[in-house]
Chains A and B, each alone.
Chain A
Amino acid sequence: MIRMKQVTKRYGNQTALDGIDLTLGESGIHGLVGPDGAGKTTLMKLAAGLLKPTRGKVVREQGTSLGYVPQSFGMYEEMSVAENLHFYGRLNGLPRRERQERMEELLRWTDLAPFADRAAGSLSGGMKQKLAIAAAVLHRPHLLLLDEPTNGVDPLSRREVWELICSVMRQGTRVFVSTQYLEEARHCDRVILLFRGRLLADREPGAYREDFPYPVWVVRDASSVRMKWLPRLREEPAVAQAYSRGTDLVVWSRDADKVRQLLEGLSREEQAGKVEAEAPGWEDVFSRYMMENGKEETAW
């Protein structure tokens, strides 16, 4: 386990993390969600021991072995998949036989076996991430730290990467993973919401949605009217928040009926689509926290 006590990290005058209290390694998959610049990578690096806090303490429990997958591809591109795995296996002290067996197991597991002799640099984005994860879990660490492993990876490969992360967890390794894709929070047992260097919440994913205080209305096919409507809706006292999502317009209401009537009236006048009720999405959940913490725009 890794414990962070009142951890603050500053780069010059800029505060990247502010008074973080956190324990890692208690949940199966512990997610870290936050927009760009929230301080996710700094938090990961502090957990990995790559950075020292400006204030506070990061304590790694004795005997806690770590696996770490940085945001950039941390494998040797000119070396083959197998050579990379061999190297990290040797570095982590795996005996030859165990190393070989574990390597074969991971290659099968990640579907990288046919590419064992291929240079790591020539793999696709998804395969690269799978290789990096395989190299990080070769020695079966207690805690695996993953810094935005699905960043820049196509949707299909993202699913595969998450399947791999879940398998790692099932094999007994605790995972701490950061992401900027909100919907990925659903894979996690607990989710930390980080915003502007501050930890806004650390809860089970269901809890975020359960206590969402505003009924959500969605106006379908509103692309032609949304720019006109948005300023007006934001001035309505019954509207807590309004934003566009694709071609839809999403509205949080303080007074559900009043807002529904307002939207239906507008929709009839301007020939927009249907007005429908919707359960709050991850974007709504996290936007609420950010709104409450002073960020003007709610869109992620």
Chain B
Amino acid sequence: MRIELRDIRKYFGPVKANDGINLVLEGGRIYGLLGENGAGKSTLMKILSGYQPPDTGEILFDDQIQHFSSPADALGKGIGMLYQDPLDVPAFSVNDNYLLGRDQRIVLDYKNASHELQEMTARFGFELDLQSRIENLSLGERQQLELARLLVGGAQVLILDEPTTGISAEQKEVLFGSMRKLAREEGKTLILVSHKLDEVQELCDEALVLQRGKLVGQTDIPCPNEKLVKMMFGQVPERSARPDFDLGEVVLELIDLRVPTYRLTIKDINLTIRQGEIFGFAGLEGSGQRLVLQACAGLLQPDHGKILLDGQDVSSWPYHRMQNAGVGYVADGRLEEGLVAGLTIEEHVELAKPKHSFFINRKVLFAITETKIEQFQIVGRPDSTADELSGGNQQRLLFALLRDNQKSILLENPTRGLDVRSSNWIWDQLNHRREGGTAILFMSSDLDEIFERSDRIAVFSGGNMSRVLETVNTSVEEIGHLIGGQA
């Protein structure tokens, strides 16, 4: 199917999310849609998949003008969208979730549903427990189910929004394999929305670049990464160099640490981290790296072993005591754990102060907040609430709330979902902190980030930590092996 977008415009107040986009997509090809945060990718894809109508402009399938009344209508006409957070019902069984909205008969036919699902999963090599409930599946598995649902629903065009965030390397391979199959063998049109240039390079035939609501570039793949980055940003941002740095005293020491949790127990963790060191935890999501960070932050209690901070045993200290002792923690879920959605920037600044008085001095607070906003380049006003900010600005706010002179900062996926420029900014801040002697521990699902930023690396697999690797003496292959659980 040939899809044509003609002069698509969508404005939100003064913001021109899509500002006259013209585009032709051919069947049998995989397109990569690139752009900075807020470039208009999501808006365009929502318009194409029937979630919102454009203000002006037309969508044509094989030269026929189309109007979508709803996403279900769009799927009926052949366009399916796979969201980063799959649109399924967590409380449902796999079968119920599959059948919802599909079967028009009143009494459900589970036999048939299981049969269709099995056929589908076998065709694409998905491995799924069909007896399970959706909430017990991994993100990658939920994605596979959504994909199956969209395809059975008759999707000729598939839009995938950041599909590789949070899924395992194997699941990514399976996903990419099935995407290639769909394009090459079945002639479907695929659109990959992504931040990750290597994925676009690996998978796509053509890259489309949006900037400020306009289509600014279109190029065949493969092409040099620099070319893509140039189209996205107008210039190639300097990868912030990692300055050589002499390490200082030991800050944090973990001895035979064991932390049991309901799902997973980590054990025998031995680590020594020095002032000014950047230490990266690699591994699949849920392999235990987050538990170590949470134990160091005082959020989880080890049942064996010790955590030493400047030589002092802090194993049983709770979070607030650790915070006051100079250990900062930046959680992954910005709105879930880090920020309070309905509170303003100003109120966050007040809450994060080490000492509180009963009454709030509004004037002083306003001044402090304004300086922070400027210093940390947050796009927002002192009275903007946290949930009004974009992901990148929420992360900036979290950094603005970190206290000065930390002994150690612990971070979960510090740049997840951020564009290259914001990521660099975050790391500039962190490098600046390390120069002041702060030890930095972070986990990331982005291997490139681990390689580029850390001095030393540890890999987690099923709750076990590998030996500690010097970044300069290791390779992606070695880390890959360790992630897969091979010693």
A and B: bona fide binding partners: no
> Which A residues lie at the B interface, using CB under 8 A?
none
